[in-house]
Amino acid sequence: MLIDCHCHLDLYPEPALVAASLREPCLVLSVTTTPSAWRGTFALGSRVTGVHTGLGLHPQLAEERAGEFALMESLVGAAEFLGEVGLDGSAELRKTRPHQERLFNSILDLATRAGGRVLSIHSRRAAEQVTSRLRAFPDAGTPILHWFSGNLKELRLAIEIGCWFSVGPAMLRSRRGRGLVEQMPRERVLPETDGPFALDVAGRPLHPTNAREVQAGVAELWGESVEVVADRMAKGASAIRTEMHEVGRA
Ligand SMILES: [Zn+2]
């Protein structure tokens, strides 16, 4: 089964072609970076049952698109999961930090009021702050930290509060990324690509189907067979899918 827990279908040069290449059975969490992109991206994924579209507002756009939070509030009832959301502590975004923090708090509060959501979370250079916010909103839902790049202490904090982790081929290529994956709870690790932003070894954007490489990469790290890892990831994906379906019934 194809599992890609974080990709940007709408941002490929030819989104319809990528969407058309996806087949059941799959679990694809197609994230968006602005609430105004949600409807179109939802339509893009609606042909395949296993494609779910996240309602997101990326931290890099927190200042520029703050006005779209009202739209996010009006769409949350229809959204099975939220993402991409989070915080970005990169130096070039320092001046937007107050905006980012205000927005992330509002989003976690919104998720809580909506009864909880699966959340695909960006935490670059902000892992500790992200976990501290998640701690403050324990009923916001099930956090999946995408492409986690914090340190081991931050990883432990995230594990403690029940975070899941989506890991991609790009992360598995770096020694540091592999070191983090070694310490992650195996039953809470799922594949992702972060395509088209993340690239393959040849510098081409990863396609959601490249997420299949993750099972093999992780199996090697953990000293397990690909079958054992694939089976565990399928179980994890089914747990995440169940949570999203519960939202639909609420
Ligand atoms: Zn992303």
All domains of the chain, ordered by start, with CATH? 2-200+222-249 (3.20.20.140)
- pLDDT for res 248: 54
d(CA 242, CA 150): 28
d(CA 41, CA 32): 7
Please work out, in degrees rounded to the nearest 5, the angle formed at the alpha carbon of residue 72 by the alpha carbons of 27 and 117.
45
- Per DSSP, the three-state class of 114 is coil
Residue 19 is encoded by which pair of tokens? 């969407």
Average pLDDT for residues 18-25, to the nearest whole number? 94
Average pLDDT for residues 98-111, to the nearest whole number? 98
d(CA 79, CA 146): 19
| Ligand 1 center–CA 141 separation, angstroms | 19
d(CA 149, CA 151): 7
Which residue, 53, 48, 43, is CA-closest to 82? 53
pLDDT level of residue 70 (50, 70, 90 thresholds): very high
| Ligand 1 center–CA 186 separation, angstroms | 22
| Ligand 1 center–CA 247 separation, angstroms | 23
| Rounded-to-5 percentages of helix, strand, coil across the chain | 55, 15, 30
Residue 148 is encoded by which pair of tokens? 């986690």
d(CA 6, CA 99): 24
Contact 43, 8 (CB under 8 A): no
The pLDDT of residue 246 is above 60: yes
| Ligand 1 center–CA 47 separation, angstroms | 22
Which secondary-structure segment (H or E) carries 16?
A: helix 15-20
| Ligand 1 center–CA 7 separation, angstroms | 6
- pLDDT for res 207: 95
| Ligand 1 center–CA 169 separation, angstroms | 14
Ligand 1 ion: Cβ-proximal residues, 5 Å cutoff: 84, 194
| Ligand 1 center–CA 30 separation, angstroms | 9
Encode pLDDT of 155-198 as tens digits.
Answer: 999 999 999 999 999 999 999 999 999 999 999 999 999 999 99
Average pLDDT for residues 199-206, to the nearest whole number? 94
DSSP-assigned letter for residue 117: E
Total-model pTM: 0.97
- pLDDT for res 247: 74
d(CA 41, CA 80): 13
- pLDDT for res 160: 97
